[in-house]
């Protein structure tokens, strides 16, 4: 994982799609985030069945994964490492305890903060003419996923933030949420209770350059009650709360 400092950034874009407006300042607390998207290898380590379409490399990102299955992985990974799970599996939405030190899905704010890595453009590296160096997307992916870490990382050392697979976030997707979003550690809108979509970020192997932008948003049905869930462009990466001990431990480890 990579330890990210807390900070303030401008979330959204006035030049993007309507659901990216209005741009607004958000304060995010420090957190840890996976350097890579969760791979087949990582998922099977917690002894969960692999739902992926492409199984030809253990280093490929998991895909075709339901939102709740991603949360189950977070809990199982937490237990495996002796951490307190974030999700209450007895509640309908697997409610999140943000004070726990275990793994969870990032909020939209955390994800965009990590993707922007201190910049304010459409991508942390500049314009879309360089996207091939950082992402597998519609133009170069050959209609499939690729092993993680093959492209250049962003400024904070995170790989595949653009393309490869879109990444589940914790938040309910609401196209007008930015008009009322809190300015400190927003967790997304309340669950409307019907036809709920969750936010996915970062674009995928099938996305256009525009769909890979740091501020680009998309809502996707969770697939939790769909026996034929087949979104082979949807994966995730984990975050967790950063303690002082975590930060010092990560500093002492070689890259």
Look-up of token digits 């590296």: 125
Q: For the whole model, what pTM was predicted?
A: 0.95
Please give the average per-residue pLDDT across 166-194, as a whole number.
Answer: 95
Q: Cα–Cα distance between 41 and 9 in angstroms, integer?
A: 34
Please give the average per-residue pLDDT across 18-43, as a whole number.
Answer: 97
pLDDT at 170 over 60: yes
pLDDT at 238 over 70: yes
Residue pair 77/121 in contact by the 8 Å Cβ criterion: no
Domains and CATH numbers, the chain: 2-252 (3.90.1580.10)
- Report which of residues 102 and 254 the model is more confident about: 102
Residues contacting residue 104 through CB under 8 Å, at least 6 positions apart: 71, 74, 86, 87, 96, 98, 170, 238, 239, 240
Residues contacting residue 161 through CB under 8 Å, at least 6 positions apart: 114, 115, 124, 134, 154, 202, 214
Question: Residue 28 — φ and ψ, nearest 5°?
Answer: -120, 135
Q: How many CB atoms lie under 10 A from the CB of residue 197?
A: 17
pLDDT at 205 over 90: yes
Q: Cα–Cα distance between 172 and 25 in angstroms, integer?
A: 20
pLDDT band at 36 (very low <50, low <70, confident <90, very high): very high
10 Å CB burial of residue 12 (0-12, 13-18, 19+) is: buried
Q: Summarize pLDDT for 106-129 with one digit per residue, the tens.
A: 999 999 999 999 999 999 999 999
């Amino acid at each position: 994982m990579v330890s990210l400092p807390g900070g303030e950034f401008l979330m959204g874009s006035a030049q993007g799609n309507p659901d990216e407006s209005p741009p607004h300042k958000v304060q995010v607390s420090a957190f840890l985030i996976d350097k890579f998207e969760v791979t087949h290898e990582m998922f099977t380590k917690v002894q969960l069945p692999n739902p992926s379409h492409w199984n030809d490399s253990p280093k490929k990102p998991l895909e075709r994964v339901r939102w709740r299955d991603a949360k189950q992985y977070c809990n199982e990974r937490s237990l495996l490492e002796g951490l307190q799970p974030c999700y209450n599996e007895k509640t309908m939405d697997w409610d999140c305890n943000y004070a726990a030190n275990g793994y969870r899905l990032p909020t939209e704010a955390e994800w965009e903060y990590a993707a922007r890595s201190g910049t304010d453009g459409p991508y942390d590296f500049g314009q879309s003419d360089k996207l091939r160096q950082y992402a597998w997307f519609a133009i170069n992916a050959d209609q499939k996923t690729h092993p993680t870490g093959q492209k250049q990382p962003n400024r904070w050392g995170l790989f595949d933030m653009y393309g490869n697979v879109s990444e589940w976030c914790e938040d309910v997707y609401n196209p007008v949420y930015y008009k009322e979003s809190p300015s400190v550690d927003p967790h997304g809108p309340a669950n409307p209770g019907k036809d709920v979509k969750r936010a996915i970020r970062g674009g995928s192997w099938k996305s256009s350059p525009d769909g890979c932008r740091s501020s680009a948003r998309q809502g996707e049905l969770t697939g939790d009650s769909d026996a034929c869930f087949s979104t082979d462009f949807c994966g995730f990466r984990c975050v967790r709360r950063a303690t002082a001990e975590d930060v010092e431990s990560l500093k002492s480890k070689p890259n």
